[in-house]
Each structure stands twice: as structure tokens, then as C-alpha cells.
Amino acid sequence: MVRRIMLAAMLLLVLVASLIAAEMTADGLIAKYLSAAGGEQNFRAVKSVITKGSIFTQGQTAEMKVSYVIPGKSYMEVSMGGIPMQVMATNGKDAWTKNPMGAYYMSGDDKASAMRQAELFPLLDYKKAGAKVKYLGEDMVKGAKAYKLEFVGSDKDTVVYFFDATTFLNVKEKRGDATIMMSDYKKAGNLMMPYKVNVQSAAQSLMMTIDTVSVNVAIPESLFVMPKDAKPLDSLKAMMKQRQGGGPGGGGGQ
């Protein structure tokens, strides 16, 4: 009798889990994520964010500071030993990068990628932004069940989000050949945010560790003014390619 009761209970749990999975929708999953991460009202109350931490890549550690002003403005600065090494910034219209060689404005795919990275909460108003979402079912992330959501932006850029089936927090993303893992969630203001981010792709492997997150702090507008002397980023790419080739003709010197 006990075995029959246990078997019936197990079957009931499986049935309930199946019904929940069957009823899951893209918008329902987004709503659960927003609720788990702090609530839609608290997301909408965020006007600016400053994160500080470090990046570990290629055996080296660099300091990182990223300033966001919603919507569409970001300023990421990377330094080593207090010496500025690189900046990547957007102001909603322009995107540029700056390093010891000078300032360079972006265009094409480079600009589009920078603009996407400036969107701190892309799922919040995805319909207004012209994006589309689709629920893709279940998967496993580090041995735990997760729900998958496909996000296609207005520029057709595609991201697959993985939300933990228990916490409904975003634990993984697939962007092209890049896999991004989020963990160590902590409260920042009224929101839950990941304090560790691991990025793996064919081009790079890096770990970001966040030390502090400051919400709704004053950020000067001057930070998002593109340098007037910025040159096309393509000119820097051409120069680097020429150097790697050893000259205009390539192949090194005589």
C-alpha cells in the first residue's frame, strides 16, 4: 500500500511538472525572471548603474568600471595598475573606443554590437524595441534544469537565454559562438544581479568579477561625449593588419 501511494505521488509530481512546462510561454518566463530579479517596478526605477570589478584574461588581471545611463548610454574603462588601457562607450547615437593610440568611432557591426551591450535590461521592453522572443523549452545548465528563451533583436541579432528553473534568474546566454555564464547573484539596490560573469568564445576567454554595484548614482553627461578627434575604427584595423603583414605588400621585409 505504501509503495502504491509513493508511486502515485511521484506520478502526480511528474504530471504537475509536465503541465507547468507545457503552459510556459515566452512572456510568462520573462515575467517570472523580472519578478525573481526584483520586480518590474524596480527595474523601471533604475536610471543609472555603476559597476566596478576586475577582468581576468590571458593570465592577466585588469580593473574595470562600467557606467550606464538608461536608455542606451554606457562607458566602460579598463585599466591596469591604475593606468587607463581602453575605453568603449556609447551615447545612444555614437559608439567609440579609446586606447593609448587614440580615439576611434565605430560603424557597422562594431557599432551595433556596442549599442547592444549598452542595453542593460533588453527584456524589459522588448516589444517597443522591435524585438521578438520565443520559448524554446527545457535544458540543463551545470546539472540543473533551465528554461530557454530565444531573443531576436530588431537588427536580427539573436541571443538564447537560460533561466534557472528554480530561481528563474538568468544563468547562461548564447550569443553567436560565445557562451556567457552568470553566477554569484547578490542584491544591488532592489535588484538581483550576477557578480561573476564568465565568457568563452573562439576569440577570448575571460572572467569578470564584480566588487560593487551602485544604482541611481549621478553620472556626468560629459562622460558620453565622443572625442572630436576620433578617427574611423576601420583605419586602426587597417593599420594593425598592415603591421601584422609587415607592410603594404605583406609578407614582412626583404
Q: Domain ranges for the chain, please list them.
A: 23-236
Give this prediction's pTM: 0.82
**What is the tens place of the pLDDT at every residue in 220-240?**
999 999 999 999 988 888 887
Residues 26-50 have a mean pLDDT of 97
pLDDT tier, 17 (very low <50, low <70, confident <90, very high otherwise) = very low
CATH architecture assignment, domain 23-236: Clam (2.50)
How many residues in the chain? 254
Instruction: State the pairing for strand pair 83-91/95-99.
Output: antiparallel
Secondary structure letter of residue 251 according to DSSP = S
Q: In a 10 Å sphere around its CB, with 0-12 CB exposed, 13-18 middle and 19+ buried, how is residue 135 labelled?
A: middle
3 state DSSP class of 154: coil
pLDDT tier, 127 (very low <50, low <70, confident <90, very high otherwise) = very high
Higher pLDDT, 5 or 190: 190
pLDDT tier, 82 (very low <50, low <70, confident <90, very high otherwise) = confident
Residues 153, 131: contact at Cβ < 8 Å? yes
Tell whether the model's pLDDT for residue 199 goes beyond 80: yes
